[in-house]
Amino acid sequence: MSRPSESSNEVGGEVTVVWTDGACLGNPGPGGWAWARSSESFAAGHEDHTTNQRMELLAVIEALAAQPGPVEIRSDSTYVVNCFKDRWWAGWRARGWKNSQGKPVANQDLWHRLIATVVDERPGEIVFTWVKGHANDPMNNMADELATTAARLQQPRESLR
């Protein structure tokens, strides 16, 4: 039986490590999202018409909703990771939800939810780490497989032990 992954990092104390991924068959098209802590603790869901970036965001939102306390999100999405590492969110808020080119931030509905969780509701509890996709990280590969399968089958799947 696999235990949920734990580590210690700048958040302090025991940190639950969760891998997330989003997938889309066509962009836009049928999509899937997934998070995984271990081979026995994961969830995946789907939307019938969406984009890959929306699925990446939803994977993190769903992962954080299922994990209390300090969490390290490991994602192959620079879109998600860089928002927090480079504090894009602070600029978006300061500019009235406009990006650096003065255009409305894409996927604002999901960004509002995610940023509220990470920055406002759970400050200092959540960190983001980028991992190379389609490489030798078994848990990233598992999250990718779960998200891709959810997109293809348009069916949710979970095992929350």
> Is 134 known to be catalytic?
yes
Q: Which one of 10, 102, 120, 134 is the catalytic residue?
A: 134
For 11-20, what is the mean pLDDT?
84
User: Which CATH superfamily does the domain covering 6-160 fall into?
Assistant: Ribonuclease H-like superfamily/Ribonuclease H (3.30.420.10)
Between CA 106 and CA 96 the distance in angstroms is: 13
- Grade residue 135 by pLDDT with cuts at 50, 70 and 90: confident
Q: Which one of 47, 72, 76, 125 is the catalytic residue?
A: 76
> Is 112 known to be catalytic?
no
Which amino acid is located at 23 in the chain? A
Instruction: Return the HEC string of 72-124.
Output: EEEECCHHHHHHHHCCHHHHHHHCCCECCCCCECCCHHHHHHHHHHHHHHCCC
Q: Where are the chain's structural domains?
A: 6-160
Model-level pTM?
Answer: 0.89
Q: Which one of 56, 62, 72, 125 is the catalytic residue?
A: 56
80 — phi, psi (to 5°)? -80, -50
Residue 98 has pLDDT above 80, yes or no: yes
For 84-105, what is the mean pLDDT?
96
- Grade residue 133 by pLDDT with cuts at 50, 70 and 90: confident
**Tokens at residue 22, please?**
């989003």
Residue 130 has pLDDT above 90, yes or no: yes
User: What percent of the chain is modeled with pLDDT above 70?
Assistant: 90
- Grade residue 7 by pLDDT with cuts at 50, 70 and 90: very low
> Is 48 known to be catalytic?
no
**141, 88 contact by CB (below 8 A):** no
Residue bearing tokens 């293809």: 152
Q: Which one of 12, 21, 31, 102 is the catalytic residue?
A: 21
Q: Which one of 22, 31, 32, 45 is the catalytic residue?
A: 22
**Tokens at residue 16, please?**
């639950």
> Is 120 known to be catalytic?
no
Between CA 92 and CA 65 the distance in angstroms is: 23
> Is 22 known to be catalytic?
yes
Per-residue pLDDT, 4 = 40
> Is 56 known to be catalytic?
yes
- Grade residue 11 by pLDDT with cuts at 50, 70 and 90: very low
